Structure 1
Amino acid sequence: MNTQYEAVIVGAGFGGMGAAIQLNRLGYDNLLILDRESDVGGTWHVNRYPGLAVDIPSATYSYSFEPNPHWSRLFAPGEELKRYAAHVADKYDLRRFMRFGAVVTGAEWDAEHAHWTVSLRDSAPVTAKYLLTATGFLSQPRKPDIEGVDTFAGAVVHTTDWDDDCDLTGKRVAVIGTGATAVQLIPEVAKAAAELTVYQRTPIWVSPKLDFRVPKALQRLFAALPLTQRIARLAGTAVLELMMVSGVLHYRQAPLANKLAEQWCRAHLRRQVRDPELRRKLLPRYTFGCKRPTFSNDYYRAFGKDHVHLETSAIRRVDESGIVTADGNRREIDVLLLATGFDLWETNFPAIGITGRNGRDLGAWWRENRFQAYEGVAIPGFPNLISLNSPYSYSGLSYFTTIESQMRHIDRLFTAMRRRGATVFEVTSRANEAFLDRMTDRIGDSIFALGRCATANSYYFNPHGEATLLRPSSTVNAFREAASFPVDDYSYA
């Protein structure tokens, strides 16, 4: 059986494009990028709800080798991220590899032919020597398991499937959810709705957002002198590292950083919410960092408006025209907005069925043997697989630090394989177990082990209660190890 492609990449978001760019640099040109959506961009193609913007400084949320000097704001709106994705696809000539509307249903390792067979919903399977999964962490929408949602007669809109024809002007609107998406959405909905009720399960830590329009003169400076933008990127990264690495992952060694971040957020809440009872409801009861924090200058203010209501009683059921809470209160609504986030663990690890050597099912193996991946990319028993959305892969707060450290790993691994005249790689169980032990030890110093996280309902924790999404190290460490890991941690054939 002939192998059709050198590599199949599942996902045409920033992770998949980064992998394709790196493979091109290594000389691989017979690639296929599959994506179920209609265009590039991943989450920035799917999401288009009002208020959508990147929630970290734009300069840090881009490839370091492809800076964008033309961000209009410090925190760029979503449509600019979508345009940036299209720019990258065009500049690096990636569209010739892309096939859209291609729903991957599974992949299986064929030991006889030493390649992967990738199954598609509406077309014939394809084969490739290497499989790279870049399905994103935020790719599987979570629908709330609430009685009666399907019986509601009005419009029901999930933020990942925004209906541009849904006019909220003068409507009675309900939003379920108060995560990072809702923090951006709620102030915008409040501007249009006649009445807005927000149903909160878990409050979120919110920091002031130092956002501003980037002057054209500064954009021209960034374009003319890229070093100036690199300096801005380093400054933004340093702040994010302080919050995530020092305050969250190194909590035992630097508890003061976490305390300062928490007090900063508390002060922001006090400034913007004068009503002590409302402030009590909006104040998280879990330690800062147990759940991803966010930035906003408008979220708390929205609850100060007379037509905006915060409901903290659990939802009992939804009927044809309203929502009933556990305390018996019922509120009539016209539109139901679901800002209920994403299902990371149950449907996203992995996002497709992957069967490795000797019939090993990746999803079942993870659930039976703990969630794990060597350096966040490789799993024993799965030859020639690079899993870009794996346990311990996410580094820092910017997804691009994760992507670029993984690109370095691919470069070192594929170069070592070629040097040996091999075409198959597989991480050894010994190396994987040593890495898992090291990550487990480091998590013991983090807020996830030492803080009050039980009430956070955080996607950082897997179904076993372990915080295995984030790599418990600095971005500098992740980059260093990606470029220097022992190549003998893999076997080659």
Structure 2
Amino acid sequence: MTSVQYDAVIVGAGFAGIGAAIQLKRMGYENFVILDREDDLGGTWYVNHYPGLAVDVPTTTYSYFFEPNPNWSRLFSTGTEIKQYADGVADKYDVRRHMRFRTVVQGARWDEEAQAWRVSVADGETLTARYLFTATGFLSQPRLPEIPGIETFDGRVLHTTAWDDSYDPTGERVGIIGTGATAVQLIPELAKKAADLTVYQRTPIWVAPKLDFRISERAKRLFARIPLTQRIVRAITDTIYEMMINVGVVHYRVPLFRRLNISAMDLCKINQFIQVRDKDLRRRLTPDYDIGCKRPTFSNSYFRTFTKPHVHLQSDGIDHVAADGIVNADGTKTVIDTLVLATGFDLWEANFPAIEVIGREGRNLGKWWRENRFQAYQGVSMPYFPNYLSLASPYAFLGLNFFNTMEYQMRLMDRLFGELQRRGATTFEVTEQANADYLDRMTELLGDSLWTLGNCASSRSYYFNPHGEPSLLRPMSTRDAITEASEFPLSDYQIS
């Protein structure tokens, strides 16, 4: 039997990978490695640094439960501050020394004889580990638009995940494709400098008013001296967000809750009406799907940007890209100098899973998901994949806040690995029956949700897999998810 190099390999050094590492250390594991293809930790908060980047969840809520940060400068903090928070947590909990950067993981295969995972990296090296965690996040594989001629464009092309910090749009004619949450932040910034900005919209987005403000130095000192005060603030913002998800989305079948969902759309329309008086422009900027079908966002400047004379909304479609610009569906051409791609991420084809994972009896995870529905017990485990937790899986994501997802996953790790240690065992695998029962329950719960009952057909939301199932999301409250992760029947796993 081949010796095992590591207790665990974690793929990904974003907040999920950092959280998994902290939990491993809490349970006494020190012999593990975190592999990441980038030059530094932070995941999406390292990769993304486009102008206007900020979190779209209040930063009072956007942090680990166990590690509040009293130093946020604003209610909706900048990407730079989020990255600094990641650095601080990694250093405080001594996980940076476990990280290997510029390491591209190609795949992992379960070795039945060795009862271990063989993890292959791009330089030809193979690592052996008892346990495997994929912490690759949901937003890690950029989506490039399939538009004829885009490769022949002679100007500059920038994807928001590969932003050139030296780029200055001053005086340029800029075209930007996409109007998702990233574009809502970026478009007002580009409009400040560009001579001409054309926004290519396929699907409008619901945008609510943004209640953002600077956090005073006095408040920061109070949070640092009396951490309970910050936890109280977090409890308030958490409750508001939980109510938004559970009342307006998860329990959509209840007539009163449907009314509240409509009220949220009315709020977004009021936000739009205040900033845009042109009736036709408002019509084109208004989604025809229910709020919550895809991720909404917040902004006080997005709609107003379209009222500027040098900013144009193109919502009739793109025919192709020419060498000097974009030819619209109606045959007209817009000449541009720089093309910005705010086209989001490829979740289902490139991210589930982000690497090739081969389990027992040669089962290929990606192939199995596509042929047998996307599924994962408690959002982390699949049968035939022993000693493996996938932290970015179907039915894993809780509402609007990734840290709530990470919190319940760390609780699950604590319960599962605690039982392994209690028994002196080294191997776990979810049973097929437990996995099947969980999938049935998720399907039943989603039957009451907006994603099933609402008008989502035109949303083009990454919440939905290629088969039309909203299987990205875990349809329950954070409290319920944490309770389940802390109390799930240990008999749901075969432990040996």
TM-score range, shorter chain: over 0.9
Structure 1 consecutive aligned stretches of length 4 or more whose deviation exceeds 6 Å: none
Choose the corresponding residue for 2:371, options 358, 368, 371: 368
Report matched runs for 1:104-253 at 5 Å.
Answer: 104-253=105-254
**Deviation at residue 455 of structure 1 after TM alignment:** 0.4
Q: Deviations over 1:188-219 (max 9, x none)?
A: 00001000000000000000000011111111
- 2:473 aligned with 1:470: yes
**Deviation at residue 437 of structure 1 after TM alignment:** 0.4
- 2:446 aligned with 1:443: yes
Cα distance in structure 2, aligned partners of 1:236 and 1:123: 47
Cα distance in structure 2, aligned partners of 1:38 and 1:315: 36
Task: Judge conservation of contact 1:205–1:288 (CA < 8 Å) in 2.
Answer: yes
Q: Secondary structure at the match of 1:59?
A: coil
Q: Deviations over 1:314-363 (max 9, x none)?
A: 11111111100111111000000000000000000000000000000000
Q: Which residue of 2 aligns with 1:77?
A: 78
**Deviation at residue 256 of structure 1 after TM alignment:** 2.2
Q: Deviations over 1:245-280 (max 9, x none)?
A: 210111112212212211111111111110000000
Q: Which residue of 2 aligns with 1:33?
A: 34
Choose the corresponding residue for 2:358, options 350, 355, 359: 355
Task: Judge conservation of contact 1:15–1:134 (CA < 8 Å) in 2.
Answer: yes
Task: Judge conservation of contact 1:50–1:185 (CA < 8 Å) in 2.
Answer: yes
Q: Secondary structure at the match of 1:346?
A: helix
Cα distance in structure 2, aligned partners of 1:232 and 1:158: 36
Choose the corresponding residue for 1:281, options 277, 280, 284: 284
Cα distance in structure 2, aligned partners of 1:49 and 1:84: 18
Cα distance in structure 2, aligned partners of 1:91 and 1:421: 30
Task: Judge conservation of contact 1:103–1:120 (CA < 8 Å) in 2.
Answer: yes
Aligned residues: 493
**Deviation at residue 56 of structure 1 after TM alignment:** 0.7
**Deviation at residue 167 of structure 1 after TM alignment:** 1.3
Cα distance in structure 2, aligned partners of 1:123 and 1:274: 60
Q: Which residue of 2 aligns with 1:291?
A: 294
Unaligned runs of 5+ in 2: none
Q: Which residue of 1 aligns with 2:418?
A: 415
Give the alignment's Cα RMSD to 1 decimal: 0.7
**Deviation at residue 123 of structure 1 after TM alignment:** 4.0
Cα distance in structure 1, aligned partners of 2:135 and 2:89: 16
Q: Which residue of 2 aligns with 1:58?
A: 59
TM-score of the superposed pair, with normalisation by structure 2:
0.99
TM-score of the superposed pair, with normalisation by structure 1:
0.99
Q: Deviations over 1:59-84 (max 9, x none)?
A: 11111111110001100000000111
Counterpart amino acid of residue 198 in structure 2: T
Q: Which residue of 1 aligns with 2:390?
A: 387
Cα distance in structure 2, aligned partners of 1:174 and 1:119: 40
Task: Judge conservation of contact 1:176–1:200 (CA < 8 Å) in 2.
Answer: yes
Task: Judge conservation of contact 1:242–1:257 (CA < 8 Å) in 2.
Answer: no
Q: Which residue of 1 aligns with 2:432?
A: 429
**Deviation at residue 134 of structure 1 after TM alignment:** 0.2
Cα distance in structure 1, aligned partners of 2:263 and 2:280: 24
Cα distance in structure 1, aligned partners of 2:220 and 2:213: 13
Cα distance in structure 1, aligned partners of 2:167 and 2:332: 27
Cα distance in structure 1, aligned partners of 2:475 and 2:27: 29
Cα distance in structure 1, aligned partners of 2:377 and 2:494: 13
Cα distance in structure 2, aligned partners of 1:199 and 1:242: 33
